Amino acid sequence: MASAVVLLSGGLDSATVLACAAAEGFECHSLAIDYGQRHRAELHAAEMISSALGARSHRVVQVDLRAIGGSALTDDIEVPVEPGEGIPVTYVPARNTLMLSLALGYAETLDALDLFIGVNAVDYSGYPDCRPQFIAAFEDLCRVATRAGDEGKRFSIHTPLIALTKAEIIQRGVSLGVDYSQTVSCYQADERGRACGRCDSCRLRRQGFVDAGKPDPTRYADQ
C-alpha cells in the first residue's frame, strides 16, 4: 500500500480530501500546520478527523506566521463579514507554499510520493495559491528540489476538489462517511469550535449545504 501525506486543516475541504485519499487505497499520514491561526479550534478538529477517518498517523508542525502577519488570520486585522473585491485580507501570504513544502519534506522521510491538499478554485475566496497553475508549478519544484526527484522519482500533488463546487464536495464527503459536525471552517471560530456564521468561509460552507440538499451540522455561536 502506497503512503500519502494529507494536509489536514480540520475544515470541511481537507476532511473530504482525507476521505478521498483513504478511498483510493492510500495509507494516509495526516499533517496539520499550527501557524498561529486565529481559528485554532481547527487543530483539535484535525486530530479528531484524522482518527475518525483512519489515518495511519497524525502530526502537527508549528510555524509562527504571526511573526510576519499580513493577514486577518495571523495579525490584528478584523475578519471581514461582508464580501469584498480582489484577494481578501484573510489570504495568508505563502501559506499553501509553506504547507506543501512541509508536506513534501515529511513525504521524503516516509518514502512517499503522493501529497493531498484540499485547494478549490470554484467556490473559494479567491486565493492565488488555490489555483491549478500553483499546483503545477509546485510539482515542478518537487522534481528539482528533492533527493527523490534527483533519483528520477516523480511526486504527485493530488487536488481532488479543485474543480468541484462546495455542494459537490459535501456530497462526495457524505458518500465517503465524513462527519462534517467535527469540522471547523470558520475564520474566527471560538475556542469550542463554534462558527460565527458571518465570515466568507461560513457563507460558502452554509450555502454549500443548502445547494447539496444536506442538513448543516455546523455549530454556530449564536445557537
pLDDT recorded at residue 157: 98
Judge whether residue 133 has pLDDT over 70: yes
- Is 220 domain-assigned? no
pLDDT recorded at residue 82: 73
pLDDT confidence band for 122 (50 / 70 / 90): confident
Range of the domain at 85: 3-212
CB under 8 Å, gap of 24 or more: what pairs does 210-218 form? 210/167, 211/165, 211/166, 211/167, 212/166, 212/167, 212/168, 212/170, 212/171, 212/174, 214/170, 214/171, 214/174, 217/179, 217/180, 217/181, 218/180, 218/181, 218/185
- Is 121 domain-assigned? yes
pLDDT, tens digit, 9 for 90 and up, residues 204-213: 999 999 999 9
- Is 25 domain-assigned? yes
| C-alpha cell recorded at residue 115 | 501529497
pLDDT, tens digit, 9 for 90 and up, residues 66-114: 999 999 999 889 888 777 678 888 889 999 999 999 999 999 999 999 9
- Is 223 domain-assigned? no
pLDDT recorded at residue 187: 92
User: CA neighbours within 13 Å on the CB side: how many for 99?
Assistant: 29
The domain tally of the chain equals 1
32-61 average pLDDT score: 95
- Is 217 domain-assigned? no
CB distance 182 to 45 below 8 Å: yes
pLDDT recorded at residue 38: 85
CATH number of the domain that residue 149 is part of:
3.40.50.620
Average pLDDT, the chain: 94
- Is 55 domain-assigned? yes
